[in-house]
Structure 1
Amino acid sequence: MSSSGLEDALAKARDALASGLVVSEAAVQASVVRPILRELGWDDADPRQWQMEYPVDNGRVDEALIGPLGKPLVFVEVKRPGVLSPKAEDQLFRYANNKGVPLLVLTDGDTWDLYLSMAEGEPVERRFTRCKLTESSEFCGVARDLRTFLERSEVLSGAARKAAEARLEQVKHREIGKGGLDSAWEELLRGPDEILRDLLIERVEENVGSRPGTRDAEEFLRMLAAIVPVTAQQGDVAKWLQAAPANLTSGMKATVTRWLKQSAGHTPGKPSPDGAPPKPTPGSGKLSGIRIRGREHEVLEFVRVHLLLASELESWNGGLLNELAARAKPGMKNPRAVRASDPVLQTDRSKYYRQIPQYPEWYLHVHWSAKDHQRLMREMTELAGLSWGSDVVVLFAADIA
């Protein structure tokens, strides 16, 4: 059960698979699966621990790893190399149905898919990890996962099941986040988002030694967003697909197509029945400034708006910046407001801060998206005792047209 023993077994299994001689289920069991399970503490010579061809209502499971009361705790279904499929998943889950077996393994020797049998969803939605032997130059990660979820002592104690539940929760959150990537990228391009713009400028400067202008970077991002022709913006998906650049991936085309279909049904973007242009959505359009207690300031960047508001609010309510700084939690990496003497300004994180007008001893963290700038400005306004939306109003070109 030593770490080196397991990694040696994994290396031998990979070599056996690479030889091309392991072509049947029986060969996978003998050359790959059983040597690995032995290194994880299971004794295939002891029927109280391990039973092969374990009978269930609708068939037989290739390997069943047994608990101290004779109850199976892990089902392992083995396929010949390269034949894992949703059908194989369904078969494994049928075998486990109503058996109370917490952990399931489906493997062709190379790929090891591990499932939490009593979780919610389709079989694929219950898979909490996948290990690939032939894609691993080092086996530390694979060995760590197999020990965590399949080592006999971990399974018997229940720790393996708890770890599987935690991993599955992580997987689900990651999938939710992954599903939001396309729409977030579209939003960043259409903004353009200030952080994205600044990152683009910094990377250009690193690559070529010269810094492009802010407007140049913004126009470049708008150009990327403008790959959709006017007819496509009106919902003509077929024309968009015909005009799409040849080097776009199918995923990118699918993203734009989905966005176009949504745009076609978006009421604010449609002309009114009498032919009049659509009314702008409040709070949309290009940033034009900020109104603070009835006085308008023309400012075209959220960073400058944020700094101006901090300065004005400090003048209105002396001590606001002190209170903002005091809200930072101990050890906070990027506090909202810091004094000029703060150690954070001596690190590489200083690039996220800007000096506050009229209060040069104070610096404000301003490296935010446009949406976060507005959220944080609202918090700061309410902290000063003013009302967001009446005492303080962010102005957009559409709001004052």
Structure 2
Amino acid sequence: MKRLGKAEGGVRQALEYAFHEGAQFVTLTDGKTWSFYLPAEHGSYEDRRVFMLDLFERSASESAEVLYRYLDQERVASGEALETARKEYRNKNRRLAAREAIPESWHELVERKDKQLVELLTDAVESKSGIRPDEKDILNFLSRKLTADVLVPVHPPKPRGGTSSRETKVPRNIKSTDKRSFVLLGERFSYGPAIDAMVLILSELAKSDPTFLQRCSEHPAFRGHKRKYVARSAVELYPDRPDMAEKYRNLPGGWVAGTYLSNQLKIKIIRGAAEVAGITFGRDVIIDF
């Protein structure tokens, strides 16, 4: 149990203590957010978090269901709660592994000019145009597609005039655990609080694409159950909480970003921003709070 707003700062201490004591399941809360961890599993602290419940973001019925799933006395005593958490952890990691394999699998299909892929594309063209295309045209298209996927970056930030002190290129083997800095498209940025990193990433990506923040606002990662995380006005960020109206940061083009966010939500927003920009989190955006 931590003071309100301090739960994220106690993750390392809680998991290390649990690991040494042999605890298999950990709940960390500040009263508002409830995080459930499997301390003995592999990966970063975020990887070992099975679920994070934000009472501000969820309805009463949703919150009750989550708390029952992990903390009901009978389920905990029987081991059912622990088994549920382990199953969800495995499913989450399997889905992530599959998702990350999609680009490489597509690349391989195009590179070897997979027969089924060629036939599917040929049939689709014939259905749309009424004319069956020549196989050579299909193969040439796939070759160009392969080259474009490899060589053309999507929405790269435009260089600003003059020489920037942040233009140092980062080697490929840079680690995401470098303290208080992140890497965006090969450029390292320093930051203070975690919210600074989120706002800076959104701002940098918005500089080269005037539609970026609009598209972000339509992405599921930028919306909670009751509020938006990026909007045109602070009122949209906290529709039911006028007392929170000042908790925001300005973004380019008159947009604003809410700051009353857990670190898990900030990472979710950054991942969503990478998807909108057409870049890869963990490669083009390297950060870990």
TM-score by length of 1: 0.32
User: Relative contact order: is structure 1 or structure 2 higher (C-alpha 8 Å, sep ≥ 6)?
Assistant: 2
- Which structure's CA Rg is the greater one? 1
